[in-house]
Amino acid sequence: IKNKKEELLSALSEKHYSTKTKGERTLPVSQCLGTGKYLLVVHNDHTHFIYQLTNPSQVKEIQKEFNLQKEDDYLINIKNPQAATPPGVGLAEKQKVKFPASLQNKFANYSFIPLATSEFLNYEGVEFLLIAKEKVNLTNREGELKSCLEKIHSDNLLDEFAKINSPEALVPIKE
């Protein structure tokens, strides 16, 4: 998690390092697969993570390799960092998030809970699970989503991401 655009760009830049066995190595610059906007929508007993790519305007081969669509809808759950994890799965113990008691208590005895507040995403080391839903055109469900829309969260980290202030801002994507 980075608080400033400059920190994020630095973390994604090309890195050079040395190893004893292979000598000088280069980790190439990270490339952006796309930019866009997203909504976190609490709906009944679950939370939707809905996104729209705004750039590139058309999904290209690289986005397809990562299964990125122009728009999509997933259910999102947060992993309880205190829940048992099978060996080799998830983060190492020292990398796991340490939530304040007010957030940790929301898990009770559950391993995963729906993302009910975006506050969980403010902590380094948070693990979440995206669950694919049936793939339908989101614009066909706009009325349903508006009626259950309780909370909108926009990503303010980069100016390039569009702010979403209301459900009406979810503009249908033209194909």
Tell me the percentage of the chain whose pLDDT exceeds 70: 74
For the cut 50, the answer to whether the pLDDT of residue 114 exceeds it is yes
Is the distance from CB of 25 to CB of 17 less than 8 angstroms?
yes
Whole-model pTM: value is 0.63
pLDDT greater than 70 at residue 127: yes
Distance CA 113, CA 127 (A): 11
Residues 6+ apart with CB under 8 A from 59: 53, 68, 69, 70
From residue 18, alpha-carbon distances to 15, 23, 135, 147 in Å are 10, 5, 45, 56
Pair type for strands 128-132 and 23-27: unpaired
How many Cβ atoms sit within 10 Å of the Cβ of residue 89? 7
pLDDT at 111 (0 to 100): 93
Amino acid identity, residue 118?
Answer: S
**pLDDT tens profile 60-78:** 888 888 888 888 888 999 9
Q: Are 41 and 47 in contact (CB under 8 A)?
A: yes
Segment among 88-97, 135-144, 165-174 with least mean pLDDT = 165-174
What is the H or E stretch that residue 129 is in? strand 128-132
The mean pLDDT value for 75-85 works out to 93
